[in-house]
Each structure stands twice: as structure tokens, then as C-alpha cells.
Structure 1
């Protein structure tokens, strides 16, 4: 038999191990090449440059995709080499040298890799237009995307995939060269680490693992709070949270799961069912032995879900973020821009106009926020904040039901980010200073989620709503740069395009001053362009991470199913039915896929919760959508794993 015939017979024999690996490799190559092709697509590049969105992010994300692909291929190849260790040992027993075995595996991997890369690049090219259209849709860009083949993208991909193949062959060569004949026959039975008898030390480590995760979660909730962390030790706190969470995750899989399962098993006082034997006992030892890989999968899952959630929060909050920057469709300051109103009338564009009078006041930091002595070390409590004041009569134009007594004020329009870092409190007195007099006022109410002044007027500071009499006194004492704001909302959406052209032309000709004062649509379009680009690239990364972690879990379950084949044969011979065996397997698979996923989602939840408000105004809906997507995809891998086990159990007799 020639070496070529032996290669194809070996590939045919191992197709049950390789088929999902082959398709996963094709899908990985498809994602990578599609992303690179989009990067060099002239239609996409032109559209991104026109919207002012940077394209440099494509290059960096491409390298991240390469890293994920390399990690996945090397890890999966290691698992399959482990599964084929007995086969390689038999080759040595019949007289084949290690060099000849390497040549056999070299040809096999070159054929497999070449087919996967070829098919993946074809699919990547064909699907690149589809993904590019998704990108344009996310950015609300109507540009027509054409299917474009880039020689630059093709040559870069060929070089990267060729280097990856070389790295895989080097990995195989090292594994074959270092392995002894005895180790090859026992390799498939080895877990990540040697399993020892459960002891008091293991119990203590299990409790510590749970404690470290709990500490990481608790500290993350205080990361950006004034009481819990400051800018001086923010990096240290972040590293501490990351380290304790990762170490705690490893100890959880290594010891805590075994501790919990031991407690469950002891609670049954020796009366174990077949479900307990196939579920509880195997979970206890398998998770304990594969702690390293499960920790890596959990961390990758949490990282991917967290990144995708933050990107979606930014995209989902594009409208509310634009409203914070420009609460009205158009804003005119200091009665500047009457020409704009006249042109709107000339064009027959209907609109609603709301005028607000503005004055400035000075407030001490110590009056606005509760800052103790510890925080005073980092924040100057005597520092004064300049903020805007608006008369109650103007504010009633948007909220007619508000009433204030003498000496009472309201605070509103406070930035979402600042409101999380330094929250305001109502039902307290503050001192408001002008150049002539100080006023002691009582804060009746704080409304942080309401915005009606331009950022140029309020500068993200809280806006004070005061009675008209007090406002007139403040107005006499102060001479603010901005004294009025006119908010304009269009009556009909169909008129927006014409109104935008009029406003931009007047701004460019300096008829409307404050050149950096943008319209609501401009803020919204900028947010959509940036966040749409962000969610697109993070979606690619999320798919790559999902493919990697889900496939690795499935490959490991395939290996475990093969290892347990003899056990199922024995259980069938002593009278257990397929259904009884499968019930235990269902429990096992629920834990094998559900536990890393659940902990990964918890990691992402607390990571996102610690600073989600830096990205947008809504967390719950984006997080639920991303989590549901990940759970659904993991469920698919879990079902595939159960089906493989079902096949093994049926073949047990």
C-alpha cells in the first residue's frame, strides 16, 4: 500500500472526528476572508470615509480574527491528535518510523487544510457583499455595495493561512517526536491535569474559588463609584478584579464543582441512580480534570458577550445620546439665526419654536455632592461649578405641571455619565453664588434623565430651574455668554432634508454662529456611523469566539463519549435501557455546556454593569438580546453533542 493510499484510508476512517472540525475551519476561514475583503472593498471604503468613520479599526480587528483562528486550529488539532494517539502508536508497532508517520500526517493535513481554505475563501468572497450590506444597513447608509475581488486581500490571506499550516505541522512534529509508544496508547485517557482524591485542602480551595468570584463581582460594582475607586487606583482595581475573577473561575472548575457534587452525592447516602452515576460523578471528575480549558472557554465567552453587549448598548442608545447633545431638531443661541427661521417660512416648512432664557450661577462641589474626607483627597470640595439657570415660566413650556415655592429649585439635564460617577441628591439645601449675593435654596427634585438645553449652554452640568423672580435677580448679577436658547422641532419629518441643507449652508457662511453647534440629525448620524461600525466588527469577533468556544466544547464531548463507550456497553449488558442512560447524559451535557456559559454570562454581566453608562442609556434590552443569541448558539452545540452521545449509546450493544 502506498503512502497516498494510506493517507486517504486514514482520512476516511477518521471522518467522524474531522467532519465538524473541517466545517468549523471552513466557517472560520470564511469569516476571516470575508472581513478582509470588506476592508478592501472600494464601495465600503468610500462610504466609511464619506461618513467620517475611521477604517483603521478594520486592520486591528483582522489581526484579532487571525489570532482567534490560530488559537482554534492549534487547540482543535491538539485534541484530535490526542484522539488518534492509539492509531499513531499502532503505526509505530508495525514498523513505521516517526518520520514516515509525520509525512503521512503532513499530507493528510495539507489536503484537509487546502480544501478548507479553498472552500472558505470562495464562500468568504461570495458572502462579503452580504456582510458589507449589513454594515451599510447598520450605519443607515444607502450606498450601493458591489462584489469586489481584492488581490491585496487574497495575497494577505494566502500568506496568513500558509503560515498557519506551517505552525500546525510544527505542532504535529513536536508532538510525534516527544511522544513515547506507551504515552501514545494512554494519551486519550489524560485530562488537562491529573485527578487526585478530594480532600480538605480541595474543599478549602473550592470555597476560596467561589469567594474570589464573588469578590470580583462585588468590586466591579464599585469600580467607578466615588466611594469605591478613584482615578488614581482605577487601573489597579481593574487588574485586581480581572485577576480574582479568572483565578476564581479556575478554582471553581478545579475544586468548587467537585465540592458541590460531593455534597450532592453524600446527601443521597449511597443511594445513587443511573442518572447520578452518569451525571453527578462524571461531572465532578471531568470538570475537575479539564479546569484549564473550561476556564479559558468561560473567560472567552464572558469577553465576547461583554464586548458585543457594550457595542450594542452604544448602537441602541444612538437616539438618546443624540437627544442629550441636541434636545431639539435645531438649536439657535442668543437669538442668532433668525435668517434660518425666515428661510424655513419661505420654504413652507412648519416648525415649533421654544425659547429658554439662561443665566449662570456658581455652586460649590461640596453643596452638590456628598463628598467625605476620603474623597476630598482626590476632589477639591471647595471648587465651584458654573451651571445654567432657567426660569420656571420657560421650563413650563415643556413641563406645565411643575410648581415651585419660594426658595425651592429643581435640577435637571444632568449628564448620564456624571450622574453615575457623582449622583445628585434632592431634599437638601445648597448655596448659589453670584457676583453680588449668595442664595440658600432647597432642592425639591432632581431629574437626571431629562435634557432640554444644548451642551454648549449647560456643559454637562446640572441645569437649575428657579422661580422667575429669582431668575431676574440672577440675570442682573451675571453676564452669561449665552443668554437665550431657541429650540426648533420640525412638524413634518419629510421636511427634514430641506431644513438640514438650509441650516448647514447658513452655518458654513457664518450667518449662524457657533460652528460646532450641530443638528440633532448630525449627532444621530455620527452616533449611528460609529456605533454601527463598532457593532459590526464586534459581531464578527463574537461569532469567531462563539465558534471557537462552542466547537472546542463539542470536540471535548466527542472525546469523552468515545472514552465512555465501554462503560455504556457494560451498563447496557446489565439491563439499563437507552432512555435511562440518556437521562444521565442530558444532565451531564446541561452542566458541560451550561456551566461555562452561565458563568461566562455572569462575568460579562458584572463587567458590563460596572461601566455600561459610559456607552449609552439602556443596558437591559441589549444585554438580553446578546445573551439570548449566545444561549441559542450554545444550545445548538449542546444538541449536537447529545446526538453524538445517543449514537454512541445505540452502538453500545
Structure 2
């Protein structure tokens, strides 16, 4: 028999083992080639006007995808080689040299890999248009996307996958040449770990694992809390402590804590074990030593992927809120510049509402409003320039607010600064207007945004009584950089396109002279312009992270499935014995269900907890909404993990059905 015929017969024989690996590989190549083709599509390049930053982001994401696939393929290949160890041993037993066996397995893998890569590239080429349409939908760009074949994308993909194929072959050579003939026949029967006795050391390490995870979670809640965190001044050290405790705690959890919990459960049953205990609890405990590393990696990858995707989605989900903070009105005119815009709106019959603000500034030290524990912090050295408006101006937006003599309140205090540096009302502070010190009593802290970000200096806004505002203006001897703002909101959404065209055409008339250290002039963008800029940046980010998230999900889910396939084959004889002594198929499946709930559910749940606390510690750096993006991403991962779990259960059912 020729080597080629032997290769194809071997592939037909092992098709049941390779089919999911084959399709997972095709899907991986499809993702990578689609992504690579996408960045060279002329329509996408034209629509995005790819800057160096965007292009570098695409390339970096491509390399990360290739790296993920490389790890996945190497791990899967190692797993399947272990399952075929007896077959490889038989080849050597009938007289085939190790070199010939290497050629046989290498040719088989080359054929499989080349077919998968070619199929993945073909599917990826056609699906790239679908992904391009999804990208432009995220970016709210309306244009026709054409299929375009990129020689550069093909060249890059061929180079990467050729290198991966060489690495796979080298792995095969190393695996086959390093093992003995006897070990090949016993490889699938080698126990991962046979627990002789659960010692006190194991119990202590199990408790330490749980405590380390809890400590990491607790520290993450104080990561940006300057009032509680003693390590805030060394933020990187705090992050490393959280990361180290969480990673080590996760490993110890799978290595010792799981066995501790299950030993406790078994001890409480006092020897009355059910078939579920035999088929689920015991195998899990006996495999924890070898599974601890892989389950830790899967858990951390799940947490990382969910966290990154959630933060990206929070940014995209909050694009409108962020735009409103930069431009609280649809259109803003500064220093009475651009009044022609209002005239043209009137001429075009566009209905609008208008609010006018007079702006002054004071110098204040925010430390007077923080907690007593932070009064001496070096964060509050010196005063900061803060804008001030009158109560009557503020009442244009919020009518019911009232102030008494020397009372004031602070607004536009939210988002990042409010999370990092919380301030408290009910205190008296002193502000400086010129050389005059004026005491005011802060009644409340609000979140209303009224002024353009260029007006507010990135600081909160102080609202005082009209008489006090006039006093502040009189004592400010230096002219204000921006002394007035006109805010305009359209009455009818349908007038937006016409108003945007007018506003854009009058950019020169709206230019404000700042004479600032960093810039001399400034042109205020409309709310819609800022929103579209946010959508363009965050939409591209979430698109890239979604690709990486899918790759992570494919990798972790497939690895878990492959491990369950291997364990099912190893336990086939156990099912045969259980069936012979009278256990029904339903009894056996109960234990299998419980085992799959653990194998897929526990890494997923802990990974989701890791991502939740990681995201919760600093989500406000990325946007203004947490719950909806987090739930959407988590539900997506739960659904897709459930699919892998169902596939695993179906494979176990086939093994059980064939056990007699």
C-alpha cells in the first residue's frame, strides 16, 4: 500500500475525531482572512479614511488573531495526537520506522490543514463583505461595499499559515520521536492524577485560593477610590497586586479549592454516594491537577475577552452621552460669534429654542469639598480656575432650583472626575474673584451639563445667585477668555440636516480667539459632529474587539470540547462496566450532565465574575452606562458556551450508547 493511500484511509478513519477541529480551523481562518481582506478593501479604506492609528490597530488585531489561532491549533493537535497514540504505536509495531510514521502523520495534517485554509480563505473572501457592512453599520456610514480581492491580504495570510504549518509539523516530529513504543499504548490510559488522600495542606491551599480571589475582587472595588485606597499614589502597583492575586487565586481554586469543596460535599453524605457522585464528582477531583492549568487559562481568557468587549461596547453605547457632555446643546455660539447662524435659521424657517449664558470665573481649591482624610493630599496643591454662571441663567434649563444668600451649588460634576474624586455638599468654601475672597455655601452637587467643554476648562460649574454673580464679574479685572455662550436646540429633528449644513458653512464666523498657551483659536463643533466622531472611533474599536472576542471564545470553547471528547473516550470502559452491572443510560447521563455543568459552567462563571469586577472598577473611564453593555456581552458568551456544552453532551451520549 502506498503512503498516499494510507494517508487517505487514515483520514477517513479519523474523520469523527477531526470534524470539529476541521470546522473550527476553517472558522478561524475565515475570521482572520476576512479581517485581513477588510483592511485592504478600497471601499472600507475610502469610508474610514484610515489613519495611521486605525491601520496600525487593524494590523495589531490581525497578529493577535493569528497568535490565538496558533495556540489553539497547537493545543488541539497535541490533544488529538494523544488520542491517536495507540494507532501510532501499532504503525511502529508492524515495522514502520518513526521517520515513516512522522511522514504519514505530517502528510495527513498537511492535507487537512491546506484544505481547511483554502476553504477558510474562500469563505473569508465572500464573508468579508458582510463584515464590512457590519462595520459601516456600526459607524453609521451609508455606502455600497463591493467585494475586492487583495493580493496583499492573500500574501500575508499564506506567509502566516505556512509558518503555522511548519510549527505544527515540528510539534508532530517532537511528539513522535520523544516517546517510547510502550508509552504510546498506555498514553490514553494514564491518569491525570489519582488522589490518594486529601491532606491538610490541600485544604489550606484551597482556602488560600478562595481568599486570594476575594481579596482581588475587594481591591478592584478600591482601585480608583482615593479615600479608601492607600495604594492610589502607586496605581500600577495596585493593579499588579489585583492581577497577581486573581490569577494565583484562580489557579489555586481549580487545583485545590474544587477538591476541598467536593470532599466536603462527599464527607457530608457519609458514604451514601449516588451515580452522579461517581460519574461527576470523582472524575473531576481526580483530573484537577492536569486540568488546573488549562481551566485557569480558559477562565482568564474568558474574563479578558468579556472585559475588553464590554468596555468597548460601553464606549460605543455611551457615544451620545459623551457628545452631550462636550456639546450640551445641538449648536453652541461663543462670545456672540456666529449670530449669522441664527439669522439663517430664521430665514430657512427652522424652529429652535435658545438659552443664553453670561460666564465669569473664580479660583477655588477643591480640597475644601473632599473628605477630611484627603485634606493634606498633594493632589490639591493650588487653586483651579472654575467657571461661574448666575442662577437665572441656570433656570433656563432647570426651573425649580432656588438659592438663598451666599448659597451656591456645583453642577457638571460627573463621569471620571466624580468617580476618582468625590466631593461633598453641605460645606462652606472660599472662592477668589480677582483679589477678593468670597465665602459661599455649597448646597448640592449636580450632574447637569450646560457649557461647552472649552468653556468649562474641564472643571465643574459653580452656580450662584444673580447678585453674587455680578459681584464676581466686577472683581474680575482680567477679561474672560470666553464670556458668553448661546445654546441652541432644534425643535424638529427633521431640520437637522439643513441646520448642520448652515452651521458647517459658517465655521469662519464662529471662530473664537482664545490667546491660549496651547491654541490661539477654537471652532465649536455641533453635537452631531461630536457624536459622529465618537461613533467613528468607538465603532471601529468595538468591531476590532468583537473579532478578538470571537477568536477567544472559539479557542476556549473548542479546547473545553476537545478535552471532553478525550475524557469521554478514556471513560468508555467505565460506562461499559456500569451498563453491565445494571445502571441505565438515564442514570449515567445524570452524572454526565453534572460533569458538563462543572466543566463549562465553572470556568464561565468565574471568568464572568473576573470580568465584572475588572469592568466595575473603572468602567466610567469609557462611558456612562454599565448594565446594558455588560449584560449583552455576558448573555452572548453564556449562549455560545451553552452551545459547546450541548455538543459535548451529545458526544458523551454517543459514547454511552456504544458502550454495550
Pairwise TM-score range, normalised by the shorter structure: over 0.9
1:625 maps to 2:626: no
1:457 alignment partner in structure 2: 455
Counterparts of 1:374-393 in structure 2, within 5 Å, are: 376-379=376-379, 381-393=380-392
Deviations 1:234-259 (A, max 9, x none): 11221221111111111100000000
1:405 alignment partner in structure 2: 404
Task: Give how far 1:194 is off.
Answer: 7.2
1:507–1:515 contact (8 Å) kept in structure 2: no
1:68 alignment partner in structure 2: 68
2:469 alignment partner in structure 1: 471
Task: Give how far 1:511 is off.
Answer: 5.8
Q: Equivalent residue of 1:290, what SS?
A: helix
2:180 and 2:389 mapped to 1: Cα distance? Answer: 82
1:339 alignment partner in structure 2: 340
1:80 alignment partner in structure 2: 80
1:282 alignment partner in structure 2: 283
1:271 and 1:501 mapped to 2: Cα distance? Answer: 79
2:52 and 2:110 mapped to 1: Cα distance? Answer: 43
1:523 and 1:207 mapped to 2: Cα distance? Answer: 51
Task: Give how far 1:262 is off.
Answer: 0.3
CA change 1:435–1:19 in 2 (3 A) is same
Q: Equivalent residue of 1:488, what SS?
A: strand
CA change 1:196–1:358 in 2 (3 A) is farther
1:51–1:529 contact (8 Å) kept in structure 2: no
Task: Give how far 1:370 is off.
Answer: 2.2
1:599 and 1:609 mapped to 2: Cα distance? Answer: 15
Task: Give how far 1:559 is off.
Answer: 0.5
1:287–1:294 contact (8 Å) kept in structure 2: no
1:394 maps to 2:401: no
Q: CA RMSD in A?
A: 1.7
1:358–1:482 contact (8 Å) kept in structure 2: yes
2:110–2:165 contact (8 Å) kept in structure 1: yes
Task: Give how far 1:32 is off.
Answer: 0.2
Mark the runs of 5 or more structure 2 residues left unpaired by the alignment: 514-520
2:472 and 2:277 mapped to 1: Cα distance? Answer: 76
1:640 alignment partner in structure 2: 647
Counterparts of 1:200-279 in structure 2, within 5 Å, are: 200-227=200-227, 228=229, 232-279=233-280
1:295 alignment partner in structure 2: 296
What's the TM-score, normalizing by structure 2? 0.96
Q: Equivalent residue of 1:502, what SS?
A: helix
2:334–2:510 contact (8 Å) kept in structure 1: no
Task: Give how far 1:371 is off.
Answer: 5.4
Task: Give how far 1:410 is off.
Answer: 1.4
2:632 and 2:14 mapped to 1: Cα distance? Answer: 38
1:518 maps to 2:525: yes
Q: Equivalent residue of 1:586, what SS?
A: helix
Counterparts of 1:494-573 in structure 2, within 5 Å, are: 494-508=494-508, 514-573=521-580
1:64 and 1:217 mapped to 2: Cα distance? Answer: 28
2:517 alignment partner in structure 1: none
2:407–2:441 contact (8 Å) kept in structure 1: yes
1:123 maps to 2:123: yes
1:149 alignment partner in structure 2: 149
CA change 1:428–1:151 in 2 (3 A) is same
1:191 and 1:467 mapped to 2: Cα distance? Answer: 79
Deviations 1:325-355 (A, max 9, x none): 0000111112221111112112222211101
2:416 alignment partner in structure 1: 417
1:468 and 1:203 mapped to 2: Cα distance? Answer: 69
Counterparts of 1:76-225 in structure 2, within 5 Å, are: 76-190=76-190, 197-225=197-225
1:563 and 1:264 mapped to 2: Cα distance? Answer: 25
Task: Give how far 1:483 is off.
Answer: 1.8
Question: Deviation above 6 Å: which 4+ runs of structure 1?
Answer: 50-53, 191-194
1:619 and 1:543 mapped to 2: Cα distance? Answer: 21
1:599 maps to 2:606: yes
Deviations 1:55-75 (A, max 9, x none): 221011000001001010001
Task: Give how far 1:212 is off.
Answer: 1.1
2:571 and 2:526 mapped to 1: Cα distance? Answer: 66
CA change 1:348–1:486 in 2 (3 A) is same
Paired positions, count: 650
1:435 alignment partner in structure 2: 434
1:32 and 1:165 mapped to 2: Cα distance? Answer: 16
1:275–1:581 contact (8 Å) kept in structure 2: yes
Task: Give how far 1:286 is off.
Answer: 2.4
Task: Give how far 1:182 is off.
Answer: 2.0
2:303–2:610 contact (8 Å) kept in structure 1: yes
Q: Equivalent residue of 1:388, what SS?
A: strand
2:491 alignment partner in structure 1: 491
CA change 1:511–1:91 in 2 (3 A) is closer
Deviations 1:461-497 (A, max 9, x none): 1111111111111111124222211100112222222
2:42 alignment partner in structure 1: 42
Q: Equivalent residue of 2:49, what SS?
A: helix
CA change 1:194–1:460 in 2 (3 A) is farther
Task: Give how far 1:366 is off.
Answer: 1.8
1:431 and 1:605 mapped to 2: Cα distance? Answer: 41
Task: Give how far 1:364 is off.
Answer: 1.3
2:365 and 2:589 mapped to 1: Cα distance? Answer: 68
What's the TM-score, normalizing by structure 1? 0.97
2:609 and 2:196 mapped to 1: Cα distance? Answer: 29
CA change 1:567–1:194 in 2 (3 A) is closer
1:21 alignment partner in structure 2: 21
1:465 and 1:393 mapped to 2: Cα distance? Answer: 9
> After the TM superposition, which of the residue ranges 527-536 and 196-205 deviates more from structure 2?
196-205
